């Protein structure tokens, strides 16, 4: 099938497929005599795998690692478990950061409980009076 057909079957755009090829998540494919890329069913499966990983917020590095591991089925699933354990740890870190962010927002929101003029708005006063600190490092394992 050609790239447009693959995109339709995989429910994604042609640009997404080209991007994954550029990132080496999808392997190079053969070309027809007319210089069109020809994709087989294995590309549909691999593309679905990649998209499912992305839906789980996995980085390209993590996806590369999983794909490399799937190419060596004799190795068992220990390495796959390791990739997932690391990803779960990244998610835990991000959740902690989001909890802290929510606390800051809630504290600001509590400063303004009534509809009043902006001049008297506790949220705006709080934002104006907050100490400007270096932006805290946000954890993201995504590239």
Distance from CA of residue 40 to its chain's centroid? 26
Look at residue 36 and tell me if it is in a domain: yes
**104 falls within a domain:** yes
pLDDT at 51 over 60: yes
Co-location of 50 and 85 in the same domain: no
How many structural domains is the chain composed of? 2
CA-based nearest residue to 83, from 57, 95, 100, 65? 65
Q: 30 lies in which domain range?
A: 3-58
Task: Tell whether 50 and 21 lie within a shared domain.
Answer: yes
The pLDDT tens digits for 86-124 are 999 999 999 999 999 999 899 888 888 878 788 778 888
CB 60 within 8 A of CB 143: yes
Pair 16, 53 in one domain: yes
- Give the model confidence (pLDDT) of 1-29 as tens digits: 999 999 999 999 999 999 999 999 999 88
CATH number at residue 19: 1.10.1660.10
Q: Tell me whether residue 73 is in a domain.
A: no
Please tell me the pTM assigned to this model.
Answer: 0.74
């Amino acid at each position: 099938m050609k790239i447009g057909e693959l995109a339709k079957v995989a429910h994604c755009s042609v640009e997404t497929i080209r991007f994954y090829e550029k990132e080496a998540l999808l392997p190079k494919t053969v070309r027809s005599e007319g210089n069109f890329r020809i994709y087989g069913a294995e590309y549909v499966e691999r593309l679905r795998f990649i998209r499912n990983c992305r839906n789980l917020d996995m980085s390209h590095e993590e996806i590369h690692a999983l794909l490399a591991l799937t190419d060596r089925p004799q190795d068992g699933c220990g390495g796959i478990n390791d990739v997932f354990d690391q990803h779960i740890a990244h998610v835990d870190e991000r959740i902690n950061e989001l909890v802290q962010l929510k606390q800051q927002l809630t504290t600001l929101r509590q400063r303004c409980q009534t509809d009043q003029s902006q001049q008297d708005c506790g949220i705006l006063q709080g934002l104006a009076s907050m100490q400007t600190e270096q932006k805290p490092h946000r954890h993201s394992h995504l590239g």
